[in-house]
Amino acid sequence: METVTSFAASLKSSTENEVEAAKAADQAVIDMSDNANKMGTSMESIQNAYQGFSKQNYTMLDNLKLGYGGTKEEMQRLLEDAQKLSGQKYDISNLSDVYSAIHVIQDELGITGTTAEEASTTIQGSVNAVKASWENLVTGMADGDADFDTLISNFVESVSTAADNLIPRIEVAIGGIENLIDEMMPVVMDKIPEIINSVLPKLLQAGVNLVNTLVEGIGQNSGELIQGASQIISQLTDAFITLLPELITLGIQVITQIMLGMAEGAPGLIPTITDTVVTIVGALSENLPMLIDAGVQLIEALAQVGAVAILSLEENKGKLVFCWSIENSKFRKQVVPGDVVKLETEIIKCKGPMGVGKAIATVDGKMAAEAEITFMIGA
């Protein structure tokens, strides 16, 4: 796409609309690739020639190696030859006509289609096609006028073609490895007993010799080793005894400094601690009524749930229920605004007009409060 940009303006002015210009540009790029692939010319030289044609500069026409020199007259001769082959008249001042005539000549010389053939039948060509289609896709992302669907389709198709070319070669390679293993395994297996019989005894003997040498060395030098160990232990003991007074003194100094720091900081810490305790007590005092009220409301709600449970019995319908007593009430978790509280009361005993319910309140499956509530049923 970068190549097309260099002569896009000239193509637009030499075609009827942008669609025709795009088709001409696409064909020109394909012709450049075919020429480089068939004639062995560097793509840069071919691009320079095509860019020169857009400026009516024909000095690099011979870069295409089509049998024409680098002059305007030679370009005119190329157009005339193309006219004889296609029956269409070409105008040298029209860039689209120039590119079309080159295409006709390359087609006559068997150059056309070589890039597509290589891209579809060879690994290198198909991989290069993937690279080129990816570059076109990336460039098209920044171009608001680009046909994004076509760019994506070209990229997907090139990847599919490359895979079709690569997979058979991979299968051949795997088959070759399999054949190699099949052919080598009998040879290796035949050699293993020979290797074991010839090498293993030597390895074992070498290990035995190494152990014997170590044992003999230790035995021969045991006196020196013991003496050396004794000297090391003696030196370590002497060093510890020498350093012990200093270590004790250092420990005492550290403890003393800690105690002095605590003593110096105590006058400042005591008011701070006192203020903190006063603040905590004050906060508790201010919020205690609210805390007590919240607990009372929670227990009251549990009692109401129990009353509903008792009155749901057929024999108690239309009667009154009184909360007789609340025992063993415990608060396990703080309940804050926004919490969803689940209230449950199970009637565990009911005799005559009296009943006992085990009530619990939970938040997110965790117990927040519990109590045993005794009820009395009135008339």
128-155 pLDDT per residue, tens: 777 777 877 777 676 666 677 777 887 8
Q: Under the phi-then-psi rule, with left for phi > 0, alpha for psi from -120 to 50, and beta for the rest, what region is 146?
A: beta
C-alpha distances in Å from residue 310, one per residue of 307, 328, 371, 373: 5, 20, 17, 12
Helix (H, G, I), strand (E, B), or coil: what is residue 369? strand
pLDDT digits (tens, 9 = 90+) for 261-290: 777 766 766 777 777 777 776 766 676 666
Cβ 353 vs Cβ 376: under 8 Å: yes
Q: Among 22-36, 165-179, 264-278, which range has the highest average pLDDT? A: 22-36
Helix (H, G, I), strand (E, B), or coil: what is residue 131? helix
Strand-pairing partners, residue 355, are 350, 375
CA-to-CA distance for 134 and 142, rounded, in angstroms? 13
Res 160: pLDDT: 82
DSSP 261-275: HHHHHHHHHHHHHHH
Give the mean model confidence (pLDDT) for residues 196-204: 78
pTM exceeds 0.85: no
Res 119: pLDDT: 64
